[in-house]
Amino acid sequence: MPIKQLLKRSAGWLYLNSPLGRRQLQGAGVILMLHRVLADDQAAALPHRNELCVGPLAFGHLLFWLKRHFDCVPLMELLNNPGNADRPRVALTFDDGWRDNALNAFALLQRHRVPASIFLSTDFIGSRQRFWWESLGETLWGSHGDAPRQQLVEVLRQMDLAPPQECLADPDEQRRSQALAHYLQTLKRLSPQILGQLTDACPEEPLPQAMDWHQVRAMENSGLINFGPHGASHTILTRLDDQRLDQELRRSREALDNGCQQPLPVYCYPNGDHDQRVREHLTEHRYPFALGTGAGLYRGHGDPLALPRFGVSQRTASRPELLAWRIARGARA
């Protein structure tokens, strides 16, 4: 293990197990951000998946560890009663509405009795609409075979977006995956239309990427899972004009009102991006809370429309002391 990582893990362990660390965390709320729970830990560990994916072993390990150090509570309990608990509290959130949340995460959450909130990009739920970074990433990785990969590379070349050679040809799997992760980041600047065209150039997966409304209702009926909006189309809200922003907020609210018993009054910004104009629109749409992606603890003060979260990756889920180290840094911020 690299020495830097060892030091971080030791510091993280110390933080949770020292009087000073425990005092800093007293009454604090930690909101964690996850995306996907894959069926396989090794697949989740590759750099181009690591940030957004965890495997079942790592996720189970994380839940076990969280229960030892925190009270695991529903998000609304954490938001409505800040600062009056002895033990630090943690609330889990999942972004996007991936089908694997229903297929892989839900059973583990039930087994450990840990509540969670899932934020849905509502256009995708119950449809075959696809998230571009998943379709492009896996097609370029070769998960669907060599011919579809070549076809996509050709389309990208024609659009002057050819991926660098390391993404495709590096014989070292880790390095190739790292290069792919980097390349996918650079595509975020493209318009939704272009990204849609590129996604259409990728082969269909056997199952829809997103969950359907039956799965939403079944999970909500368990009493363990709540749902809230994460955009309708997952377009980054700061890029929309006023009219389209209102449409996006309204459409996602209506879909949740139709599909759930009790949608959360919490918005979750796609890609974490928001500005003053977006926050004003959220207030007009009667959302008292919204989740960003800045790291930090929740203590009931600060802007409720820019709530901090700590992202969880396969790396931090399998070594939660690394997460503790990041929480310690967030507590000082």
Q: Name the residues that contact Zn ion, by CB under 5 A.
A: 95-96
211 token code pair? 């969950």
- Shortest separation between residue 135's beta carbon and Zn ion, angstroms: 14
- Shortest separation between residue 97's beta carbon and Zn ion, angstroms: 9
Helices (H) and strands (E) in the chain, counts: 18, 10
Compute how many other C-beta atoms are within 10 angstroms of the C-beta atom of residue 40. Answer: 12
- Its sign, for the CA torsion 269, 255, 312, 191, is negative
Residue closer to Zn ion, measured from CB, 41 or 95: 95
Residue closer to Zn ion, measured from CB, 239 or 329: 239
- Shortest separation between residue 60's beta carbon and Zn ion, angstroms: 24
| CA pair distance 313, 299, nearest whole angstrom | 24
Decide if 7 contacts 317 (C-beta within 8 A). no
Residue closer to Zn ion, measured from CB, 96 or 134: 96
Q: Closest residue (Cβ) to Zn ion?
A: 95
- Shortest separation between residue 151's beta carbon and Zn ion, angstroms: 27
- Residues whose CB falls within 8 Å of the CB of residue 38, separated by 6 or more in sequence, listed in order: 44, 49, 53, 54, 55, 56, 100, 104
Residue closer to Zn ion, measured from CB, 70 or 132: 132
Residue closer to Zn ion, measured from CB, 95 or 123: 95
- Its sign, for the CA torsion 236, 239, 240, 242, is positive
Residue closer to Zn ion, measured from CB, 96 or 248: 96
Map tokens 């399998």 to a residue. 318
Residue closer to Zn ion, measured from CB, 121 or 318: 121
- Shortest separation between residue 270's beta carbon and Zn ion, angstroms: 5
- Shortest separation between residue 85's beta carbon and Zn ion, angstroms: 29
Q: At what angle do helices 56-69 and 320-332 cross, to 10 degrees?
A: 50
- Shortest separation between residue 81's beta carbon and Zn ion, angstroms: 28
Burial label, 256 (beta-carbon count in 10 A; 0-12, 13-18, 19+) = buried
